[in-house]
Amino acid sequence: MKVYVGVSGGVDSSVALYLLKKQGYDVVAVFFKLEKDESLSRCCNISNAEIVARKFEIPFIEIDVSEEFNVLVKEYFFKSLKEGFTPNPCTVCNEKIKFGIGFEKTKLLFGDGLFATGHYARNEDLHLKKGIDPIKDQSYMLWRLKKEDLKNIIFPLGTYLKSEVKKIAESLDLPQSKESEDLCFVKGNIKDTIKEILKEKEGNIINKFGNILGKHKGVQFYTIGQRSGLNVSYKEPLYVIDTDPITNTVVLGTYEDCLFKGAELTEVNFLEEVEPDKIYKAKVRYQSKPADCLVKNTNGQIEVEFLEKQFAVTKGQSLVVYDNDIIVLGGVIKRAIK
């Protein structure tokens, strides 16, 4: 059976390529060109990808998705920042570019097949599950994948530890490459890049009572839970607890003010049926610890209520709900609930 493997030139996708060929699949390496100028990408290395494909005697193809990536990922990212959100562009890229347009373009040009990547996640009996490596698990970044699409997807690294993958790469003498980065399209300092795209606009920094504490140069430079770079003197540590692009204000409060009971979600993707009153686990960011929660559906409005308040529940970030190691649903945080 033919399997297209999305390769970046990194160790993970290279080992995925090797494992699938070893398992007897008809493997084709696919490099998705995300930038017109490939030197702009911070984590993809087409030279390494081609070297690995030649080493394993695997066909190599390049699919240009740069225009779609620019509109659907990069423009989405900066638009979200302008609207006061802190987005997860990788989740959008996975859904719309790699597993979406990129895979569809590949099949259109070269025929039907399955699709595989080097993500540390598992697809078992059409259930999207965590990878077994608790540190490297990347299922959080895949919550936008549709359940009906799982029948065409393979994650060969889901049952491996990162340390095991590194050893395989070393034994095969594969080219070494740096790890993938969340904002692969941003070169240099993120704030400098934001300044180039979004104009600075001075506004007030206030406390929760509306008192002015200082000035800022744009709500796009702040995120919920931020403590550094506020340039405000106060008797106790302050954190960003809200941003409002309409009034152009940044709101500060104490640590306790940055604790939230839950979140209202938008763009919700259900991968499993939700059981009423069942206690699930949810992550409010990639590296956060899963917390006990309830999922509430009120006339189609999905809210997640935590049993204990969570720090810095952030507008625009992904919230992913798990039942043990199975993803139940994911969504974008529209509003944090006090």
Is 90 annotated in the active site?
A: no
Is 293 annotated in the active site?
A: no
Name residues whose C-beta falls within 8 Å of residue 55's C-beta, 6 or more positions apart in sequence.
172, 174
Dist CA 242 CA 240 (whole Å): 6
Dist CA 177 CA 114 (whole Å): 26
Beta bridge partners of residue 240, listed in sequence order: 252
Backbone angles phi and psi of 286, in degrees to 5 = -55, -45
Beta bridge partners of residue 335, listed in sequence order: 264
Dist CA 249 CA 242 (whole Å): 9
Given a contact cutoff of 8 angstroms between Cβ atoms, the answer to whether 161 and 136 are in contact is: yes
Name residues whose C-beta falls within 8 Å of residue 113's C-beta, 6 or more positions apart in sequence.
1, 2, 3, 4, 26, 28, 106, 107
Catalytic residue of the set 43, 44, 90, 184: 184
CB atoms within 10 A of CB 9: 23
Dist CA 28 CA 5 (whole Å): 6
Dist CA 78 CA 82 (whole Å): 6
Catalytic residue of the set 43, 44, 90, 93: 93
Strand order in the sheet with 153-154: 60-64, 26-33, 2-6, 114-116, 153-154
Active site residues per annotation: 93, 184
